Chains A and B, each alone.
Chain A
Amino acid sequence: MREQKTGAGGQGPGASTGLVQIQGQIQGKTEPAGLKYWRSLNELAHTEQFQKWVENEFPTSHTELLDGNSRRTVLKVMAASFGLAGLAACHRPEVILAPTARGREDYSPGAPYQYTSVMTLNGHSMGLLVETYDGRPTKIEGNALHPGSLGAATALTQGSLLNLYDPDRSKEVLENGKASSWEKFAAAAKTLLSGDGSGVRFLSETVMSPTLADLRAQVLKKFPKAGWVEYESISRANEASGAFLAFGQDIDVHPQYDKAKVIVSLDYDFLGNDYPGPLAGKLFSAGRRVESEEDLDKLNRMYVVESQFSLTGANADHRLRMRGGDVKQFATDLLAALSAAPSGNDKRAKFLAAAAKDLKAAGAAALVVAGPRQPAIVHALAHAMNQTLGSAGATVTFTKSPQALTKTDPLTLLTTEMNMGQVSTLVILGGNPVYTAAADLQFAAAMAKVANTIYLGADPDETAADAKWNLPEAHYLETWGDARTATGVPAIQQPMIEPLFGGKSAIEVMALLLDTKDKKGYDLVKSYWLEQMPAKSNKEMTWRQALNDGLLKDAKAAEAVKPTADIKKISAAAAAEPPAAGSGIEVGFVASASTWDGRFINNAWMQEAPEPMTKLVWGNAALISPATAREKNLSEGDIVTLSKGNVKMEAAVMIQPGHADNSVTIALGYGRTRAGRVGKDVGFNAGLIRTSDGFWYGSDFAIASTGKTFELVTTQERGLAEHLNDRPLFREASVSEYKAKPKVIEEMSEVPEIHSIYPEWTWDKGHQWGMAIDLGTCTGCNACVVACQAENNIPSVGKDQVRRGREMHWIRMDRYYVGPEDDPRAVEQPLPCMQCENAPCENVCPVAATSHSPEGLNDMAYNRCVGTRYCANNCPFKVRHFNFLNWHKNDPEIMQMVQNPDVTVRMRGIMEKCTYCVQRIQEARITAKTNGRKDIQEGDVVTACQQTCPASAIVFGDINDPNSKVSKLKKQERNYAMLAELGIKPRTTYLARLRNPNPELEA
């Protein structure tokens, strides 16, 4: 083809040489006999040479490549190169390392050790088990023996670990801002505390420590004119005064949620922000657990009235939204309804009637609880109701308070004294009152009038800035201490590490102030408790046992009492209360799920743990209902001014479905002006408008848009209710539906059979790990999120990166709203990696960095990952998290101490995700072998999320063992695998939530 083509470069020598050759051939020929006819010069020159040339210049269609031998050679070479490519097995030289010649008995370097301790917050004590590696605490878990934890720990408790390693803590003793020392302070204290102590005032948080209480008694005895005030911003004073109002004595109240069949919560978010411990969740979830057929009839039912949509509201079977100030009237009406059926036909009346009827039917198994943000009278009304129902003593128990509880606002009096110049020395033991005190008290100004202010604080905060003496407070994991539990059993607070920055505890400072001697916390606490022990007992043994157990089991608990409430008096008092405030905007203040009262503001774990309901991170917002937003013409992110009289603040608005109308809820503990690198200028300071008369709910505020906007950062997009309705992701059914048709859950989606040309892998050998998450008991408290973060060295990425959608939590808490925007229900769903058996992430990874283990784990080989992110794209659950940047780049050195040495810290460019705590599985395997057992047994492996879950909603185990708990749970009819219709076979399955609505209200 195309022979006629003329090449521009066709001046090659071939043609001319040929001609010369031909001429040469002709000339050189010897003439044969006879005539020789020739047709062309070519034929004439038909020589071997010529033929060769012709063949060369005009080759026939013969090609070497098609030659059989050549083709084989090619294949051979290819095969050989593939073979050579596989010969990549070069081993590194083996080196034998000599072990240490002598070691400490019972101590292995690098091995984790757990010690008991206790943390106090908000007058609650939470027993802990703290994991330490070579003397550095790395993870906090609940102490199963402690009655306030029962093995669980909340998000805040676990997050408090990071405060230990906070590089911005107070690091030295300061006098007027200049470096000083404990010795100098001790010398100064001698003159500050002398004589009868007149003009000396102590301001502390709720004293939970018997040792500190003892020291307080000694100090007040030595300095009789001195005064001691307890104040907490998130106070439980209403609870105490409510009990006093009802019973006429100082009583501690202990709701037994597990024993209740019908619970009415009067604005008490005991599963969320009103209660920092795990106990309430533990007890409440017991009443929602379904493990057998019979349990279906035992489910509790909860009614909640509240203003903001809280976690407790989300867990309620029926929720009525109302302003915080209206709860009192509701409580009054509910008490009345217990004796006379109420009338009315609106939603509130129906709710009231149904709740009252249900409560009466439950009788002794009913429980009415009131929230600490509600005034004393509501608590008293709740006590009256429990007494009327006969449940007092059954579902709620009482003990005598070990001390007279603070019932009134104590800080007002102290501030007045300070302003009048009656206070010369003020010793503040923690609590940052300059920031947390009510705005109208102007505590900072009052403090300026005190000559000597001594502040023992963990952080260089607002109070520290104004104090003369600044003492670094040791973290509770650094010093000895103690705390009594709710029922009065003392627990010992053991330190895990020497004070990192030379801080001291309140106990040590008090001892120093008492007799100017620097005593060790250990001696103070131990000597106090040895004194309390019976003289003839083996005190040392008891002490050691107490350290082992975390509490002194045999110590005298608080005396259980059965007080009687004067119902008539309570009703009269309720009637005498002024009616609910007018039509203006009400502002409710609530503890922050992340910073509590501001003390965890510099804690990146807590900042990044999404607020359970709003999913807000790194900040707070003024929550308003959709109707209020419409009425005030506000949209999300608008900055508004909330003002009343001479207090005002600016905050960004967030629209929360289900919030009460004409009401604003704003979390405390943000907008700190003096905080560390993490917490500075995060959020809006609600303390600016929190006054003594509207400490929890301030009425008649004005709300006005400023025209400015602010970007609120959440981990979830909003307005999703309509999309869940047709997506069977979160599944729930009422008990009656489920009883009538157990298949109702399974039938919510159609799972096609998998037809593969390959036989399906059977997964029937050895251990097969699996997980079941009970959506019925999960309260959505975030404890698992923080536990996972601590266990797996998950980085915090900061507000800006969360805004860009790069948060790293391996287990996240998904929240969906169901129903109308104004008054929806809400559900929470924890979402770790589903460990799909047919994992879509695995086959797409080009370098096989994520592969299945024979035990069914979807493993990640971090050092193999090249970072294509294909796996994350192909994950239907989006539970894979990519290190977009080096999140640890700016970590101060001290922060490295918190890392779990069993888990790799991931570099940038690497994908990471939940691996069912594979390090714990391996550790259990090693332990089992070391202990001479053949294999791991049920219960040996507990994942971090499972361990800490207050609701025990997460169950992990071997699904190949039919007797394991997880296998049994997965056999329930309500067990379902999310998105199973994709053929991915998730190992993590959910147990559908069973709601227990009142049929009268449902219709």
Chain B
Amino acid sequence: MSSIVQQDPQLLEQNPPLVKGGVDYHDLSEKICSVVEPEVGQTPMKYWIVLAITASITLLLGAMLTYLVATGIGVWGNNKPVGWAWDITNFVFWIGIGHAGTLISAILFLFRQKWRTSINRSAEAMTLFAVMCAGIFPLFHTGRPWRAFYWLFPIPNTDINMWQNFRSPLIWDVFAVSTYFTVSLLFWFTGLVPDLATLRDRATTTIRQWVYGLLSLGWRGSARHWRHYEAAYLILAGISTPLVLSVHSVVSFDFATSVIPGWHTTIFPPYFVAGAIFSGFACVMTLLLIARWSLNLQDLITIKHLENMNKIILVTGSIVGYAYACEFFIAWYSGNIYERFTFLNRAFGPYWWAAWSMYTCNVFIPQLYWIKKMRTNLWVMFIISITTNIGMWFERFVIIATSLTRDFLPTSWGYFHPTWVDMCTFLGTIGLFLTLFLLFARFLPMIAISEVKHVRSYEKHAFKPGPLGAPAGKVH
């Protein structure tokens, strides 16, 4: 521990350590596992209260979906010009949030960004839960999910003997999202295995031994295990990386391949991916700040972690802002009257408030992060993480619903009013997301113990000023 304290203060200023507070390996295991092991640290009452609330909201989701399936899509506000509204907005919103997990896990892993280790586990979990929430919408927005489920997947069927229409972006969606979910799940689980083994070894009750024993797949920590684990993790990171780009690109194809002004644009894939990372990081930020505060993880989730994330939020937010500007420019430059009208209508039509909420939250507010004080202030980053997700929800709504309300024929124009079922369904998915996250926090290590130990060991043993002032620790 003392080695860090003895570091050059100036260097510390430039590269603050990723693990603070003088924790050693044992402390790490204790700190992280204590959350999961009630006999060490009793589960606080506030946890159960919060879980009860989120679980109730999840029940609301179940009730809403039952009502929907029993009655029809008419219980939502969707209508003739607006065939997709909150349903697909929520789908894209959740899928977008699900992007940060993979990005942090895979891409930052491949780029050897050590700071990811404290946050990647919960970010990956968040990804999975977000994709689960997202998956609800395309399945249920048909009103008859059993048909959608049966016919959207290439399951051999005897009644109609038909393949899916592989020209449809919705089919691409099905494959993209299910692949993404599967790979993310494997990636997450693979990363969990050593930690599950830790939990198994620390387990004091038979049930815990059993459950964690089963889940840890007989992990013994042998060099052979580590070797396979590392290889698998790397491969999965490699597979996941293109998925980060592909999933939201494919989701954006739902719109980009259509003919509707406001949808039909080639800028969508990068624009959607940037937006997804933007919203995903914001969501991770919200959750981490809460976890950091409630579980006293200040030593593990340091200001440096948070600041790095804010930098990414600033970059992606600016990319999104550039995309907005670009859309307007192209609408004007194309000379297409329908396109021009759509963008004027977007900013100054009946949905001006949604559009300006989106511009404000996504483009203007994150500019505060140019200031270091802002991007290291916990309150500022908490608020911005919330406004970013509000803004990103509005972005999807603006793209999807307002483009549909007024397209080519003025005689078919309309307006969309959400119903209470729309609202409760969305609220319900938030409940589901939080419930899953709370259960995750209670039963699985929120922070990758083994990976943080690695960073710890690296900082402890190899943190010496290198020739360029950067850490000179060798990686191999």
Q: Are these two chains actual partners, yes or no?
A: yes
> Is the pair B449, A8 in contact by a Cβ cutoff of 8 Å?
yes
CB pair A874 B152 closer than 8 Å: no
Contact with B along A802-814 (1 / 0, CB 8 A): 0011110000101
**Once bound together, how far apart are the Cα atoms of A182 and B408, in whole Å?**
59
- A7 & B226 in contact (Cβ 8 Å cutoff): yes
Chain A positions near chain B (C-beta within 8 angstroms):
1-15, 56-59, 63, 84-90, 716-717, 720, 723-724, 726-727, 729, 801, 804-807, 812, 814-816, 829, 831, 840, 843-848, 863-864, 866-870, 872-874, 876-878, 881-886, 908-909, 979, 982, 984
Encode contact with A along B296-334: 1 for CB under 8 Å, 0 otherwise: 000000000000000000000000000000000000000
Task: Say how far A857's CB is from chain B's closest CB, in angstroms.
Answer: 17
User: For A979, what are the chain B residues with a Cβ–Cβ distance below 8 Å?
Assistant: 408
Min CB–CB distance A831 → chain B (angstroms): 7
> Taking each of A10, A727, A882, which has the highest tally of chain B beta carbons within 10 Å of its own beta carbon?
A10
Complex CA–CA separation, A884 to B73 (angstroms): 5
User: Is there an interface contact between A84 and B156, defined as CB atoms closer than 8 Å?
Assistant: yes
Do residues B224 and A57 form an inter-chain contact, with CB atoms below 8 A? yes
**What distance in Å separates the Cβ of B115 from its nearest Cβ neighbour in chain A?**
17
B144 touches A845 (CB 8 A): no
Give chain B nearest CB distance to A815 CB in angstroms.
Answer: 7
Complex CA distance for A876 and B260, rounded to whole angstroms: 7
Q: Which residues of B contact A12 (CB under 8 A)?
A: 219-222, 225
Q: Is the CB of A867 within 8 A of B220?
A: no
Across the interface, name the chain B residue whose C-beta is closest to A843: B167
Residue contact B259 to A8, C-beta cutoff 8 Å: no
A908 touching B165, Cβ below 8 Å: no
Q: Which of B198, B337, B409 contacts A9 (CB 8 A)?
A: B198
Cβ of B161: which chain A residues have Cβ within 8 Å of it?
88-89
Of B79-87, B383-391, B436-444, the segment with at least 4 beta carbons within 8 Å of chain A is B79-87
Q: How far is the CB of A312 from chain B (nearest CB, A)?
A: 21
Given contacts A6-B25, A9-B201, A884-B72, contact A984 B225 (CB under 8 A): no
Bound-state CA distance A2–B234 (Å) is 12
**Residues from chain A with Cβ under 8 Å of B201 in the complex:** 8-9, 11
Question: Once the chains bind, are B84 and A869 in contact (CB under 8 Å)?
Answer: yes
Residue contact B258 to A840, C-beta cutoff 8 Å = yes
In the assembled complex, the Cα of A858 lies from the Cα of B375 at a distance in Å of 55
Q: Which residues of A contact B142 (CB under 8 A)?
A: 866-868, 909
* A816–B417 alpha-carbon span in the complex (Å): 25
Is B152 a contact partner of A878 (Cβ separation < 8 A)? no
Please pick, from A816, A873, A909, the residue contacting B143 in the complex, using a CB distance under 8 A.
A909
Q: How long is the Cα–Cα vector from A885 to B69 in the complex, in angstroms?
A: 10
Closest to B257 in A: A844
- Docked CA distance A722–B174 (Å): 42
Q: Are B156 and A908 in contact (CB under 8 A)?
A: no
**B260 and A729 within 8 A (CB):** no
Residues in chain B near residue A726, CB distance under 8 A: 337
Q: Are B198 and A8 in contact (CB under 8 A)?
A: yes
B110-151 residues at the A interface, CB under 8 angstroms: 138, 141-144, 147-148, 151
Which B residues are in CB contact (< 8 Å) with A716?
Answer: 411, 413
What residues of B have a CB within 8 angstroms of the CB of A884 in the complex?
72-74, 78-79, 143
The answer to whether residues A14 and B220 also contact, given A9-B198, A867-B73, A869-B78 and a CB cut-off of 8 A, is: yes
* Interface size of B as a range: 35 or more
Chain B residues within an 8 Å CB radius of A982? 259
On whether the beta carbons of B156 and A727 are closer than 8 Å, the reply is no
A10 to B195, CA, bound (A): 11
Contacts of A844 in B (CB 8 A): 167-170, 257-258
CB distance from B277 to the nearest CB of A (A): 26
Q: Are B72 and A883 in contact (CB under 8 A)?
A: yes
- B219 CB, nearest partner CB in chain A, Å: 5
- Whether B227 lies near A58 (C-beta < 8 A) is yes
B23 interfacial by beta-carbon distance below 8 Å: no
Chain B CB within 10 A, most for which of A1, A801, A814, A909? A909
Which residues of chain B are near A806, meaning CB under 8 Å? 74, 79-80
B222 lies within 8 A of A14 (CB): yes
Give min CB distance, B351 to chain A, whole Å: 14
Q: How far is the CB of A235 from chain B (nearest CB, A)?
A: 35
- Additional A-B contacts beyond A57-B222, A848-B164 (10; CB < 8 A): A1-B476, A5-B450, A8-B453, A56-B224, A58-B224, A831-B409, A846-B174, A848-B162, A868-B138, A909-B73
The secondary structure that dominates the A interface is loop
A87 and B143 contacting across the interface, CB-CB below 8 Å? no
User: Smallest distance from the beta carbon of B74 to chain A beta carbons, Å?
Assistant: 4
Query: B3 interface residue, CB < 8 Å from A?
Result: no
B189 within 8 A of A: no
Contacts of A805 on B, CB cut-off 8 Å? 79-82, 414-415
Output the nearest chain A residue to B412 by Cβ-Cβ distance: A878
Residue of A nearest to B228 (CB): A59
Q: Is B454 an interface residue (CB 8 A)?
A: yes
A775 to chain B, nearest CB (A): 14
Q: How far is the CA of A696 from the CA of B48 in the complex (A)?
A: 73
* Shortest distance between the CB of A642 and any CB in chain B (Å): 30
Query: How many angstroms from the CA of A942 to the CA of B199 in the assembled complex?
Result: 76
Whether the Cβ atoms of B408 and A877 lie closer than 8 Å is yes
B45 at the interface (CB under 8 A from A): no
Whether B242 sits at the interface, judged by CB under 8 Å, is no
Count chain B CB atoms within 10 A of each CB in A13, A63, A814, A873 and give the residue with the most: A873
Nearest 4 A/B pairs, CB to CB: A12-B220, A10-B221, A9-B197, A805-B79
Q: Is B71 an interface residue (CB 8 A)?
A: yes
The answer to whether the Cβ of B366 comes within 8 Å of any Cβ in the partner chain is no
Most buried by B among A7, A720, A829, A982: A7
- Is B6 part of the contact surface with A, judged by Cβ < 8 Å? no
Report whether B450 and A8 are in contact in the complex, using a CB–CB cutoff of 8 Å.
Answer: yes
Interface pairs (13), CB distance under 8 Å? A3-B223, A6-B25, A9-B194, A9-B200, A59-B224, A720-B411, A727-B338, A843-B168, A872-B83, A874-B258, A885-B73, A908-B72, A909-B72
In the complex, what's the smallest C-beta–C-beta distance from B35 to chain A, in angstroms? 15
Known: A85-B154, A870-B83. A864 touches B160 (CB 8 A): yes
B157 near A: Cβ within 8 Å? yes
Closest B residue by C-beta to A5: B454
**Bound Cα distance from A879 to B291, whole angstroms:** 50
A867 contacts which of B144, B221, B224, B411 (Cβ < 8 Å)? Answer: B144
Q: A804 and B417 in contact (CB under 8 A), knowing A840-B259, A873-B404?
A: yes
Contacts of B412 in A (CB 8 A): 877-878
Q: Please report the C-alpha to C-alpha distance between residue A727 and residue B174 in the assembled complex, in whole angstroms.
A: 37
Bound-complex Cα distance A607 to B216 (A): 67
Encode contact with A along B259-271: 1 for CB under 8 Å, 0 otherwise: 1100000000000
Residues in chain B near residue A876, CB distance under 8 A: 259-260, 407-409
